[in-house]
Amino acid sequence: MKKFGKTLLILVLLILVAIAGFLGWLTVTEYNPDPIETLEPLKSEAVTLLPQGATLDLLSWNIGYAGLGAESDFIMDGGQNVRAADEAAVKRYLEGINEVTRAADYSIVLLQEVDVDSSRTFNINEAERLGYGTAYLAMNFNCPFVPNPVTYITDPIGKVTSGVMSISRYRIDKAERISLPCPFSWPLRIANLKRCLLVSYLPIEGSDKYLVLVNLHLEAYDDGEGKLAQTEQLRDFIQSEYEKGNYVIAGGDFNQVFPGSLEKYPNSHPDLWTPGVLDESLLPEGEGWQYVFDAGTPTCRLLNQPYAPSDVQNTQYYVIDGFIISPNVRLEFVKTLDLGFENSDHNPVHIQVTLLEP
């Protein structure tokens, strides 16, 4: 018995040392970006200046790292899986995403959850495949190995390198990654997303002003305080840019429902995931700022199961993707493209806007 107890104690100590070593490695390798970083373009082919008074078509789409199509579920939403079924599925989803983003000659495309070297998407460089014109990527998830709860041990997420990506057919003079507050403390923080704003400055022909384009993907699995803090920082930033005389368009995945959309898509599964709620207090001060969204079509589904729209009881929808535009930007229309969640757990949002001349 003494020998058994000694052996058991040694095993426990070895396990504790291994866990401590693993946490230490993740702590040393933790992604810690600067508050503001100047980005280098992935592609730099667009040279045309944005005309004054231009009418622009923009598309925003969380592509779910081309791993969360109609056949998919996700363990954080109450499903079973942590990644795409196989490499062929990722390539099929990517092809479908590419067809949509290039089909309509959009002026600007904002993408979220774009993998560049991740185990969950078989190390495919999605940014390279999706980019055209002038394109920038801002990293918001960079971890050599994502550890997870017990159910993940046999099928870990593993390495993740991913971010938000902005694509423009017009020239971009400068792009920056601006860090957002991280709501998690150690040790949860070390292998978690480090959210950011990808800010692009598009010069306007014959003007010293810019179109300031903000691509965002705010916190998802926090207690709500993280989303709020990040939204407040976004609000303050876009207000400061507008006060400089610039045009401002901020778009992406807010992980918060837009005003009034809960009435159409009530959250019947709050135990699985509860989004935040956007309201007028989170817009910058002054008249003319507006949320831009289409409540007629859901922009996101819960990943508790593969997509089954006929299963009304267990299919949960949200409207969490959209835009904020400044008072000097006129909305022409907004439409969520109903793609049946074929290639992503989100539907893309298309808006057309006009930059009002001074």
Question: 201 falls in which pLDDT band (50, 70, 90)?
Answer: very high
Architecture of domain 34-355: 4-Layer Sandwich (3.60)
Among 138, 201, 142, which Cα is nearest to 165's? 138
- How confident is the model over 265-280, as a mean pLDDT? 94
Q: Which residue has the higher pLDDT, 96 or 3?
A: 96
Residues contacting residue 219 through CB under 8 Å, at least 6 positions apart: 183, 193, 195, 226, 227, 230, 255
Coil/strand/helix, residue 182: coil
Residues contacting residue 275 through CB under 8 Å, at least 6 positions apart: 255, 256, 257, 267, 318, 320
Model pLDDT for residues 324-358, shown as the tens digit of each residue = 999 999 999 999 999 999 999 999 999 999 999 88
- Structural domain boundaries in the chain: 1-30, 34-355
What global pTM score does this model have? 0.94
The answer to whether residue 149 scores a pLDDT higher than 60 is no
Among 265, 273, 274, which Cα is nearest to 304's? 273
Sort strands 276-277 and 256-257 into parallel, antiparallel or unpaired: parallel
DSSP 249-265: EEEEE-SEEPTTHHHHS
Model pLDDT for residues 63-89, shown as the tens digit of each residue = 999 999 999 999 889 898 887 879 999
Model pLDDT for residues 212-254, shown as the tens digit of each residue = 999 999 999 988 889 999 999 999 999 999 999 999 999 999 9
CB 57 within 8 A of CB 106: yes
The answer to whether residue 4 scores a pLDDT higher than 70 is no
